[in-house]
Amino acid sequence: MTGESTEATRPSGAETLGFQTEVKQLLHLMIHSLYSNKEIFLRELISNASDACDKLRFEAVSDPSLYEDESELAIQIDFDAEAGTITISDNGIGMSRQEVIEHLGTIAKSGTSEFLSRLSGDQRKDSSLIGQFGVGFYSSFIVADRVELLTRRAGLSTADGVHWESTGEGEFTIEPAEKAGRGTTVILHLRADDQEFADPYRLRNLIRRYSDHIGFPVRMLEQQFAPPAAEDGEEPAELPEPGYETVNAARALWTRPRTDIKDDEYIEFYKHISHDFQDPLSWSHNKVEGKREYTSLLYLPAKAPFDLYNREAPKGLKLYVQRVFIMDEADQFLPLFLRFVRGVVDSNDLSLNVSRELLQQDAHVEAIRSALTKRVLDMISKLANDEDPEKYQAFWNEFGTVMKEGPAEDSVNKDKIAGLLRFASTHTGEATQNVSLADYIGRMQEGQDKIYYITADNHNAAKASPHLEVFRKKGIEVLLLSDAIDEWVTAHLQEFDGKAFVDVGRGQLDLSEIGAADETSTDELNEANKALIERIAGVLGDAVKVVRATNRLTESPACLVVDEFDMGKQMRKVLEASGQKLPESKPILEINPTHALVEKLAAEQDEARFADLANVLFDQAALAEGQQPRDPGLFVQRLNKLLIDLST
Ligand code: ADP
């Protein structure tokens, strides 16, 4: 009988296991979308090898025995043109059997499956979308129809090596193997069409192009040239055994002076740390010396990742301490609203033993965080002031809703963030958010000292709202806010450049100081229409807080207003969706006494018909705001009754 428990810890034979569904989907999509980008497999594998060396160096800080007898970390690339193979080896951390199964059989990112299955036909061919994934190791299968991997985790015995193999079609085989040196060796058996990669010039070229910035040497066999022709009677000169030589610069990019680094190198480095396939929008590289010493290299990506709003999505910077990699996703160095920023921070002041918990309380971290936040905001401001406005627009379209979390999260930088915000507005009428608060203020009317905005569920409802009528008449611009977070933004900002934010659908509206003072005051209107107002209030009863007359309407008979201190509609929705029970708040009904329908209502003698009309007036005011009538069926009945009356 085979002891099951020992089998579980160290199985002796080969085992065939299935890939997780997501991996199968990814492999399939990748092979079909990245065919024009094949060469990236080398970058991805070297990137993994470099990460593995980083991790070893980190673990060896507390356990130097992990170095065994080899403390120089390096990556080696070999090829065999005849056999059609490329081999990528590293002496990094390696993997245990369990790690191989977890890392090379599954994808840990949550939401992956939905994302992959949501991609439409065209998107499936779009390499940038698939690239959001950091296809990493799996990109081997773009050029290889069989991949072998031999690995041993540092610290385990030479008998604890693992051999993994797959043709990338749904399954992989895993078995124990002897491995003398620690680390990982990946052998790619190239597809018939991709034999071209097993070539020294091609490989050297790719290493220099994509992996020059890696902080470890990437080595290849020295190139040899044909021996000089033998002279008569002499044996041809023997060539010495070729040694390995370093092909890349082998110096971590951020440690080099800015002036020495080409844009292409910055771009490749971004791809290495972010696993993004697209070029970044911009970057900022800074070395700080003095009381605190650290270097940061921060990037703005061009595209938002699919899981930007997923709480568990990776965020934060790669942290190094004195060049030693400490951790990925160190999220203490930037506020949440800048979670899309990628990059590296390398501090000379932190301890090599720093943990996530310790980072949270460290004064250095706090100081670096506030400096990096300012750097990122400066980088974004620079983009906003770029002569090409499309650049900033592209940034805003991707990350604007996240930036809107800024004023609430970061009160210190509130004004700076406010200057970066963009909104849709009645000035353009477009759904694109492209109006800054400074633009708005620059277009304010004589006598106007407030920033007016309207909120609604969507852009069209905001744009069509009856509340805008008087603003249109007076030529006053109104910001059209339809993101769920917008009320949150205005609540936290309260003002910009001394101008208060005012919701045009809330409270009493006083525009008497702006434009021609030709309208009757609301007090006078209320007085003149007292009887009608009381009659309507009597019919609507509990459904409304107050009924009153208004001069804010020019074309519509009525509108709904939120009372001064009641919660706004968007905020209410967000809070209710998060499960909070909120006290009921009733709308105020404002009527336009000059509208024919309201005049007709005032003249109506038949009480039943008056009630129908008043109810329809109230429900259609809700409809005009993009809301539901209280009882849609009853609303239609009443409306039909009035229509029939009209035609008889
Ligand atoms: P990513 O690098 O984005 O995490 P990959 O699919 O490339 O995704 O790799 C998955 C995981 O497999 C890595 O996070 C790492 O833990 C492990 N891995 C890959 N290559 C190596 C390697 N050369 N040495 C050690 N571990 C590796």
Which of 474 and 232 is assigned the larger pLDDT? 474
* Structural domain boundaries, residue 391: 280-397
- pLDDT tens digit sequence for 105-120: 887 666 777 777 777 6
Residues 549 and 606 in one domain: yes
Q: Residue 470 in 3-state DSSP? A: helix
pLDDT band at 266 (very low <50, low <70, confident <90, very high): very high
Whether 414 is in a domain gets the answer no
pLDDT at position 511:
83
**pTM score, whole prediction:** 0.82
Residues 177 and 37 in one domain: yes
| pLDDT at residue 99 greater than cutoff 80 | yes
137 lines ligand 1 (CB under 6 A): yes
Any idea which residue has 């220099």 for tokens?
208
pLDDT at position 3:
35
Quote the CA–CA distance of 390 and 210 in Å, as a whole number.
29
* CA-wise closest residue to 203 among 185, 215, 221, 216: 221
State the CATH number of the domain containing residue 454.
3.40.50.11260
Which of 515 and 635 is assigned the larger pLDDT? 635
* Rounded distance from Cα 211 to ligand 1 centre (Å): 16
For the ranges 31-40, 485-494, 569-578, the maximum mean pLDDT occurs at 485-494
State the angle between helix axes of 40-62 and 200-211 in degrees (0 to 180), rounded to the nearest 10: 60
Cβ proximity of 53 and 216 under 8 Å? yes
Quote the CA–CA distance of 628 and 619 in Å, as a whole number.
8
Cβ proximity of 404 and 485 under 8 Å? yes
| pLDDT at residue 233 greater than cutoff 80 | no
Probe target for ligand 1 pocket from 22, 23, 41, 51, with the most ligand atoms within 8 Å of CB: 51
pLDDT band at 6 (very low <50, low <70, confident <90, very high): very low
pLDDT at position 647:
67
Cβ proximity of 396 and 436 under 8 Å? no
Residue ending a domain, choose from 518, 544, 562:
518
Atom of ligand 1 nearest to the CA of 88: 23
| pLDDT at residue 424 greater than cutoff 90 | yes
> Long-range pairs for 571-577 at CB < 8 Å and ≥24 separation?
571/487, 571/488, 571/491, 573/457, 573/484, 574/484, 574/485, 574/488
* Rounded distance from Cα 471 to ligand 1 centre (Å): 58
Any idea which residue has 């790669």 for tokens?
318
Q: Which two tokens stand for residue 117?
A: 């299955």
How many Cα atoms within 13 Å fall on the side-chain side of residue 621?
27
Residues 151 and 294 in one domain: no
| pLDDT at residue 632 greater than cutoff 60 | yes
* CA-wise closest residue to 181 among 326, 285, 67, 48: 67
Find the angle CA(535)-CA(537)-CA(540) to the nearest 5 degrees. 115
Quote the CA–CA distance of 316 and 31 in Å, as a whole number.
30
How large is the average pLDDT for residues 409-424?
Answer: 97
How large is the average pLDDT for residues 241-266?
Answer: 93
- pLDDT tens digit sequence for 285-296: 999 999 899 999
pLDDT at position 7:
40
* CA-wise closest residue to 625 among 522, 528, 506: 506
90 lines ligand 1 (CB under 6 A): yes
Quote the CA–CA distance of 346 and 190 in Å, as a whole number.
38
| pLDDT at residue 439 greater than cutoff 60 | yes
| pLDDT at residue 518 greater than cutoff 80 | no
Residues 59 and 206 in one domain: yes
For 29, list phi and psi in degrees, rounded to 5.
-65, -40
For 588, list phi and psi in degrees, rounded to 5.
-100, 135
Residues 93 and 72 in one domain: yes
Residues 492 and 540 in one domain: no
How far lies 409's CA from each of 402, 403, 415, in Å? 11, 10, 12
pLDDT band at 568 (very low <50, low <70, confident <90, very high): confident
State the CATH number of the domain containing residue 216.
3.30.565.10
Whether 242 is in a domain gets the answer no
pLDDT band at 228 (very low <50, low <70, confident <90, very high): low
Q: Ligand 1 atom 7: the closest Cα is on which residue?
A: 136
| pLDDT at residue 130 greater than cutoff 80 | no
- pLDDT tens digit sequence for 312-332: 788 899 999 988 899 999 999
How large is the average pLDDT for residues 168-178?
Answer: 94
Atom of ligand 1 nearest to the CA of 183: 24
Whether 363 is in a domain gets the answer yes
Whether 269 is in a domain gets the answer no
Strands 479-481 and 342-347: unpaired
Cβ proximity of 326 and 389 under 8 Å? no
92 lines ligand 1 (CB under 6 A): yes
Whether 208 is in a domain gets the answer yes
Residue ending a domain, choose from 466, 494, 518:
518
- pLDDT tens digit sequence for 440-496: 999 999 999 999 999 998 999 999 999 999 999 999 999 999 998 999 999 999 999
Q: Ligand 1 atom 8: the closest Cα is on which residue?
A: 136
Residues 534 and 513 in one domain: no
Residues 627 and 584 in one domain: yes
State the CATH number of the domain containing residue 574.
1.20.120.790
Residues 509 and 540 in one domain: no
pLDDT band at 129 (very low <50, low <70, confident <90, very high): low
State the CATH number of the domain containing residue 316.
3.30.230.80
Whether 230 is in a domain gets the answer no
Q: Ligand 1 atom 1: the closest Cα is on which residue?
A: 136
As beta bridge partners, residue 260 has none
| pLDDT at residue 11 greater than cutoff 60 | no
pLDDT at position 572:
82
Domain count, the chain: 4
Residues 75 and 109 in one domain: yes
How large is the average pLDDT for residues 216-235?
Answer: 78
* CA-wise closest residue to 454 among 552, 549, 580, 589: 552
Residue ending a domain, choose from 476, 492, 518:
518
Residues 166 and 218 in one domain: yes
pLDDT at position 508:
82
Query: Integer distance in angstroms from the first to the last C-alpha of the chain?
Result: 95
Which of 187 and 208 is assigned the larger pLDDT? 187
Residues 68 and 212 in one domain: yes
| pLDDT at residue 8 greater than cutoff 50 | no
Which of 212 and 112 is assigned the larger pLDDT? 212
Any idea which residue has 């499936």 for tokens?
124
Whether 591 is in a domain gets the answer yes
- Averaged pLDDT score across all residues of the chain: 90
Whether 274 is in a domain gets the answer no
How large is the average pLDDT for residues 363-392?
Answer: 95
* Rounded distance from Cα 93 to ligand 1 centre (Å): 11
40 lines ligand 1 (CB under 6 A): no
55 lines ligand 1 (CB under 6 A): no
